[in-house]
Copies of this chain bind each other. A is one copy, B any other.
Amino acid sequence: MTEYVTRTRPHPGGARGRGRAVPSRTDSGPDALDGHEAAAILEETRGFVDPVLRAAIDSLPGSMRRISLYHFGWEHADGTPAAGNAGKAIRPALVLAAATALGGPAAGTAALPAAAAVELIHNFTLLHDDVMDRDTTRRHRPTAWTVFGDADAVLAGDALHALALGMLAAHPHPASSAAVARLADCVIELCAGQHSDTALEKRGPAEVTLDEVLAMAEAKTGALLGCACALGALYAGAAGEDVEALDAFGRQAGLAFQLIDDVIGIWGDPRHTGKPAGADLAARKKSLPVIAALGSATPAAVELAELYAAPREQGDDVERMTLAVERAGGREWAQEQAADRMARAVSELARAVPDPEAAGGLLSLAEFVTRRSL
């Protein structure tokens, strides 16, 4: 992948981006794609998208605005201003990078409402999923439902969902109707994915196949990353086959992301993840490395199955489970699968954007999400 030199910026053509020195492989050697490039793109994306997001959320009625500002980290629970910690902006960065890759900086500018809309949809699903999954922590803070109650968290999610699709429709662009329809289809896939996730959790670990968990991960995570890239392509006026290739690029990168996320869920450092160590195992989560390990026909798989079947207790069990998943090959499988998905993503990208320079932003974003530090 040495042919991808990241010179093209995914920002909407502002002077701010243009004036900044852009590192390339030649400038900085083999470490150029180690995440600094993507980190700069993400930071820049936040700079462009946050004001649009903030203006959209400020347009909500008071009750919905308050919950949303809390969820995005712009307000504390008591309504006082907060520094903001609204996540990594990977999805809006993909929208802008895809638009820029296929249509240049002007397309990036035009795609800004789509970037904000995708981020609003992502956050609507987080609000709802946290209620359903009873997750109490998100981005190192108590989740919205723990602060405002289930009903208000669901309602704020509904409001962000409507805000996202309404904002896209309200910004005149030849692609906006197709973008609304595509983003709405994606939401339906996300709902089906979340349903599968809940349904799989209710079954015994031995009754769940790897294909089922992969399909669920594609719907839950791949679909929106694919849609983000496809929306960028739509706003660049790309041909139908290129829109689909960008969707496939994002989906495969999304699966790679989920595989790595599951690895982090077991072996990640709590100081970075914001979750207690081994929380996924303590909760008997059927994550991808676990299901792969259980299907490995190894002695470690048998041990893991016994540990997963035992009553839930805190303590040493998590350590034994972690070792068993590793010895059964779950970690190695997940990391190899992630690499394989990334290769597929790169191949789809090369089909739609043959110019390595133009594809650079998208590639470094995809590599960033699969190279997060543990």
User: Which A residues are closer than 8 A to B by beta carbons?
Assistant: 60-64, 128, 131-132, 150-152, 154-159, 161-163, 165-167, 169-170, 172, 176-178, 180-181, 183-185, 187-189, 191-192, 194-196, 198-199
Contacts and interface: CB of A to CB of B under 8 A. Distances in A.
Nearest to A202: B149
B181 A169 contact: yes
Closest 8 CB pairs of A and B: A166-B184, A169-B180, A162-B187, A61-B192, A132-B151, A170-B181, A162-B184, A63-B195
Contact of A177 (B64, B128, B177, B191): B177
B198 A151 contact: yes
A62 B219 CA distance: 13
A194 B67 CA distance: 14
Given A177-B169, A180-B180, A184-B163, A192 B154 contact: no
Q: How many copies does the complex hold?
A: 2
A175 B189 CA distance: 27
A195 B154 contact: no
Nearest to A176: B177
5 contacts: A61-B188, A63-B192, A64-B191, A155-B194, A162-B185
Contact of A159 (B152, B154, B176, B187): B187
A154 B132 contact: yes
Contacts of A163: 184, 188
A131 B154 contact: yes
Nearest to A59: B188
Contacts of A187: 158-159, 161-162, 166
Given A63-B199, A132-B155, 12 more contacts: A60-B188, A128-B154, A132-B154, A158-B158, A162-B184, A163-B188, A165-B169, A165-B184, A166-B185, A169-B177, A170-B177, A176-B177
A196 B177 CA distance: 32
Contacts of A150: 132
Contacts of A155: 128, 132, 191, 194-195
A177 B174 CA distance: 11
Contacts of A158: 128, 157-158, 161, 187, 191
Contacts of A162: 161, 165, 184-185, 187-188, 191
Contacts of A169: 165, 169, 176-178, 180-181, 184
A60 to B, nearest CB: 6
A63 B192 CA distance: 7
A237 to B, nearest CB: 17
A150 B62 CA distance: 26
Contacts of A188: 60-61, 64, 159, 162-163, 166
A237 B337 CA distance: 53
Interface centre among A63, A154, A162, A199 (most CB of B within 10 A): A162
A187 B157 CA distance: 11
A62 B215 CA distance: 14
Contacts of A192: 60-64, 159
Nearest to A192: B61
Contacts of A176: 169, 177
Contacts of A199: 63
